[in-house]
C-alpha cells in the first residue's frame, strides 16, 4: 500500500487521483505521522459498498436463523404466492 502525507495530498491531489486510475491500490494519507484517511478510486469504493451490502444481508439472515425467525418451504411458497398474485 502506498502512503502519502496530507500535505502531499493538498499539493498534488490531481497527480494522486490520476495515479489511482492507473493503479487502484488505496493510498493511506497520514497526518502528523498517523493514519488519517484512505484515498480510493470510485470503482473500488463502489465494489466495496456492494460487498458490504451483501455481507449485511447475510448477517441479517444468520441472526434471523439464530432467533428462529425462519419459514418452511411450504410457508414461504404461500407467502410468495400472495405477493405475486
Ordered structural domains, the chain, with CATH: 2-84 (3.40.1620.10)
Tell whether the model's pLDDT for residue 45 goes beyond 80.
yes
pLDDT for residue 35:
98
Contacts of residue 71, defined as CB under 8 A and 6 or more positions apart, other chains included, come to 79
Q: What single DSSP character describes residue 32?
A: T
Tell whether the model's pLDDT for residue 85 goes beyond 80.
no
Q: What is the pTM of this model?
A: 0.73
Q: What are the start-end ranges of the H helices in 1-85?
A: 6-22, 42-66, 73-84
Q: What single DSSP character describes residue 3?
A: E
Q: Cα dist. 65→28, 50, 60, 70 in Å?
A: 39, 23, 9, 6
Chain segment 15-31, per-residue pLDDT in tens: 999 999 999 999 999 99
pLDDT band at 65 (very low <50, low <70, confident <90, very high): very high
Q: For residue 26, give the C-alpha cell.
A: 488505496
Amino acid at each position: 500500500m502506498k502512503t502519502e502525507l496530507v500535505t502531499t495530498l493538498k499539493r498534488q491531489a490531481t497527480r494522486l487521483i490520476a495515479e489511482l486510475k492507473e493503479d487502484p491500490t488505496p493510498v493511506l494519507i497520514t497526518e502528523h505521522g498517523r493514519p488519517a484517511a484512505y484515498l480510493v478510486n470510485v470503482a473500488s469504493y463502489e465494489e466495496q459498498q456492494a460487498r458490504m451490502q451483501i455481507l449485511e444481508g447475510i448477517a441479517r439472515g444468520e441472526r434471523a436463523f439464530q432467533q428462529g425467525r425462519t419459514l418452511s418451504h411450504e410457508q414461504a411458497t404461500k407467502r410468495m404466492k400472495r405477493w405475486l398474485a
